[in-house]
């Protein structure tokens, strides 16, 4: 028996068996594993022949042209897949950033609008407060001049009524004013009250 040929055939048989258990990608990264399995199996098989196998080393794994072509197509497909994934992730990040930017802009706008409304309300409240204080001081001065706070209140109401009637009469809009007798009576009294007040002063 040609021992060298027998061992070569045994190695090839075992090698085909082990590689058949692996995927193509695993074949290139499992060289140490293949060496270990071959050493164990060959040592057991050749022991009956009086041969001791101490080392097995797979140096090169060279696939045939069809496998190389398939590997190249697989790598190209993987690269295309990664490119599509990266592009998709980029578009997703861009969409998220744009949405966050718009939301932030709307939030800032809403805060600015709320602050503006708050400032306008505060200014209006201050204006009304100052006008009320001014009216109170004016009413107090009129009351002091007339000697009676009730007369001062009536006097102020009459002045406002006369002012409103004058503004209505001098506006550019066409109008028809219908005043009940009670209003005319109030107007006459206001005029009389005003004339009396002016004479008293």
Is the pTM for the entire model greater than 0.75? no
Other C-beta atoms closer than 10 Å to the C-beta of 38 total 21
Quickly count: other Cβ atoms within 10 Å of residue 146's Cβ. Answer: 19
Determine the pLDDT at residue 156: 73
Give the mean pLDDT of 87-95: 91
Question: What dihedral angle (degrees, nearest 10) is formed by the CA atoms of 178, 181, 187, 172?
Answer: 10
Q: Is 58 exposed, middle or buried (0-12, 13-18, 19+ CB in 10 A)?
A: middle
112-149, pLDDT tens digit by residue? 899 899 999 999 999 888 888 888 887 788 777 777 77
pLDDT score, position 85: 92
- Structure tokens that stand for 102 in this block: 């718009």
Q: What is the pLDDT of residue 1?
A: 57
Residue 199: which pLDDT band, with cuts at 50, 70 and 90?
very low
* Structure tokens that stand for 128 in this block: 């009304």
Is the pLDDT confidence value at 2 over 70?
yes
- pLDDT tens digits, one per residue of 162-198: 777 777 777 676 556 555 555 555 555 555 555 554 4
Q: Cα 19 from chain centroid? A: 53
- Domains of the chain by residue range: 1-61, 63-146, 148-201
The pLDDT assigned to 168 comes to 74
Give the DSSP letter string of 37-69: HHHHHHHHHHGGGT--------------HHHHH
* Whole-number Å distance between alpha carbons of 89 and 44: 54
Average pLDDT, the chain: 78
34: tokens are 């293949």
Q: In this model, does residue 18 exceed pLDDT 70? A: yes
Indicate whether 200 pLDDT > 50. Answer: no
Instruction: Calculate mean pLDDT across residues 66-91.
Output: 85
Mean pLDDT of 40-53: 82
Q: Looking at domain 1-61, does it have CATH number 3.40.50.720?
A: no
């Amino acid at each position: 028996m040609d021992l060298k040929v027998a061992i070569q055939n045994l190695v090839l048989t075992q090698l085909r068996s082990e590689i058949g258990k692996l995927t193509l990608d695993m074949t290139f990264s499992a060289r140490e594993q293949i060496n270990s399995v071959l050493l164990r199996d060959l040592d057991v098989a050749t022991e009956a022949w009086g041969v001791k196998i101490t080392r097995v080393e797979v140096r090169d794994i060279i696939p045939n042209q069809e496998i190389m072509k398939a590997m190249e197509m697989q790598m190209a497909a993987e690269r295309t897949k990664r490119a599509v994934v990266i592009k998709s992730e980029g578009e997703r990040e861009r969409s998220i950033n744009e949405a966050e930017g718009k939301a932030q802009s709307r939030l800032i706008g809403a805060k600015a609008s709320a602050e503006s409304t708050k400032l306008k309300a505060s200014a209006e409240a201050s204006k009304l407060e100052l006008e009320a204080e001014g009216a109170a001081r004016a009413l107090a001065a009129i009351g002091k001049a007339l000697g009676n706070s009730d007369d001062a209140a009536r006097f102020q109401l009459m002045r406002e009524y006369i002012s409103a009637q004058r503004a209505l009469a001098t506006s550019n809009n066409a109008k028809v004013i219908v005043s009940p007798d009670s209003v005319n009576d109030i107007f006459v009294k206001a005029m009389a009250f005003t004339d009396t007040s002016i004479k008293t002063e």
